[in-house]
Amino acid sequence: MEVNYRRQSSECANNLAKAFTTMQETFDSGTLGRNLLQVKFKNQLWSEKSRMESLPLSQRTRNYQTHGVDWHTWT
């Protein structure tokens, strides 16, 4: 009976360890994924902003209005 109890206890501990590891890996990969998306989005935004600022003012204003983006909030 005690052997059975120890085996079940050991299996339970192993299952908890696996579950914790899986949760931690999921959280870490989710955090990493969000950070990579933020960096990618920010880089795209900066390149688009630079491209817009290289245009003549008349086109730049029209494009800002067309896209509905207030670029000053992203600096």
Give the model's pLDDT for residue 63.
47
Q: Please state, rounded to an integer, the average pLDDT across all residues of the chain.
A: 70
Q: Are 49 and 71 in contact, with CB atoms under 8 Å apart?
A: yes
What is the reported pLDDT for 75?
A: 45
CA angle, 24 as apex, 40 and 33 as ends, to 5°? Answer: 10
Question: What residues does each domain of the chain span?
Answer: 2-74
Q: Is the pLDDT of residue 9 over 70?
A: yes
Answer whether 9's CB lies under 8 Å from 34's CB.
Answer: no
Which residues in the chain belong to E strands, given as ranges? none
